[in-house]
Amino acid sequence: MKYKLEWKYKLKGTEGTIFTSDWLDGELALQIGEDLERSGKTSEVIYHDERGTTWITKEMKKLLEEIEEDPHDLTIYFDGGFNKKTFQAGLGAVIYFKQGKKKYRIRSNELFDEIENNSEAEYAAMYYTVNMLEEMGVHHMTCEFKGDAQGVLMQLKGEWPCYEENLNRWLDRIEEKLKSLKVDAKFTPIPRTENKEADKLATQALEGKVINSKMQII
């Protein structure tokens, strides 16, 4: 979750001027806000999150303490591969996130049966990543989903229609799960060259290589 600071700077003999910051990580926003208040020349420091909720410094500090041990600042890459002979899909997901003061990466894949085509494999991969978030205990967080399946992402954004009944059922499942987790989802299409990790995991699943790892990023 990103936060934007808003504060009033008081110069002697003036009513004050309102300033706003760029979008910042929570810890940095709080550090700047507390520093501004210590200066004695500012008042009414407000923190705005990406959902439109506002906080004062005391509330912001408590909020960050509460979410510190929960997975946050999540970026998720997904990809689906398809075997035409077996009608199986390889699903791959890579999740980058913070927990406490540390950064982590989870890599996981799965072999999925009874898939009709490559398009459906991409929807199944997206649903697979959302279920992973549920298993991680993610809720009330902003999550950015990245993949080269432009159709899936643009349809989830509501910018493209979906005319296939089977794919619409996948979309419904994905949206219902995101809603139940109260996740603020952002969908970002990327080129295949930027999705190599998830693509490799999907391929490995089709080859029978099961991957499920978590590592700290130094």
Checking phi first, is residue 4 left (phi over 0); if not, alpha (psi -120 to 50) or beta? beta
Q: What is the reported pLDDT for 95?
A: 98
218 residues of the chain, pLDDT tens digit each: 789 999 988 777 777 788 999 998 888 889 999 998 888 778 789 999 887 889 899 988 888 887 777 898 899 999 999 999 999 999 999 999 998 778 999 999 999 998 999 999 999 999 999 999 999 999 888 899 999 999 999 999 999 999 999 999 999 999 999 999 999 999 999 999 999 999 999 999 999 999 999 999 97
Specify the pLDDT at position 63: 82
Gyration radius (Cα) of the chain, Å: 21
Residues shown for the chain: 218
Q: Are 178 and 138 in contact (CB under 8 A)?
A: no
| Phi and psi, residue 216, nearest 5° | -85, 140
- Measured between alpha carbons, how far is 154 from 18 in angstroms, rounded to an integer? 37
Q: State the Cα–Cα distance between residues 31 and 93, nearest whole angstrom.
A: 34
Q: Would you report the helix, strand and coil content of the chain in percent, each value rounded to 5? A: 40, 35, 25
pLDDT at residue 69 in the model: 78
- d(CA 125, CA 147) in angstroms, rounded, equals 10
In the three-class reduction of DSSP (H, G, I as helix; E, B as strand; rest coil), residue 131 is classed as helix
Write the DSSP string, 92-122. EEEEEEEETTEEEEEEEEEEE----SHHHHH
CA nearest 71: which of 42, 25, 102?
102
pLDDT at position 103: 93
